[in-house]
């Protein structure tokens, strides 16, 4: 792995035979570059080479780089929405800074969360859910919301939800800018 490997990515893996306690096993190994820029070794040991490769692949799939936040450029708008809602629900359950629960039980009320979920399931997912974040341009999002407006339904909450979702994607480096800003 060289220094040009992007943060959060890994290089080529390799498998080699090792002896452990007199027993022969296979060790699958790969270097990963974490968000702090440091390289870390990830390994999996199994009795059969293919099992070691599969175990390593599983560890890589379960592993998140240090500081990973969750939004990725290849996500769909629906996947981003699901992740965003999970985060909002976690914030709503979190105690206030003094350890008590606020009158709204956290950052947002349960009624607000229900409105967000409704906007996701009734407007955002049907109109934009299958779109990858990389394809979510201002024009595409604007056209989808205009179609909803023309049908007589309001997009006020959906616009707010999309703005928050895309702002999070920008903060997580999944998008260079939010298509909702314009």
Task: Indicate whether 38 pLDDT > 70.
Answer: yes
Task: Indicate whether 31 pLDDT > 80.
Answer: yes
What lies within 8 Å, CB to CB, of 150 at 6+ separation is none
Percent helix, strand, coil in the chain, to 5, is: 45, 15, 40
Categorize the per-residue pLDDT at 91 as very low, low, confident or very high, splitting at 50, 70 and 90: confident
- Confidence (pTM): 0.62
Q: Kindly list the distances between the CA atom of residue 146 and the CA atoms of 57, 60, 139, 163, 173, in Å, as whole numbers in the listed order.
A: 43, 41, 10, 15, 27
């Amino acid at each position: 792995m060289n220094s040009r490997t992007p943060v959060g990515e890994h290089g080529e893996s390799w498998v080699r035979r090792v002896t452990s306690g007199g027993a022969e096993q296979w060790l699958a190994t790969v270097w990963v570059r974490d968000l702090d820029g440091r390289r870390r070794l990830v390994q999996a040991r199994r009795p059969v080479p293919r099992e070691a490769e599969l175990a390593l692949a599983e560890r890589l799939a379960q592993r998140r780089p240090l500081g990973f936040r969750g939004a990725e450029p290849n996500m769909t708008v629906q996947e981003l929405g699901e992740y965003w809602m999970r985060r909002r629900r976690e914030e709503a359950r979190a105690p206030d800074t003094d350890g008590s629960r606020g009158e709204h039980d956290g950052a947002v009320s349960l009624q607000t969360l229900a409105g967000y979920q409704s906007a996701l399931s009734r407007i955002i997912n049907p109109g934009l859910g299958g779109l990858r974040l990389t394809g979510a341009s201002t024009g595409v999002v604007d056209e989808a919301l205009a179609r909803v407006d023309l049908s007589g339904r309001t997009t006020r909450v959906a616009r707010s939800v999309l703005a928050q979702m895309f702002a999070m994607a920008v903060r997580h480096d999944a998008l260079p800018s939010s298509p909702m800003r314009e």
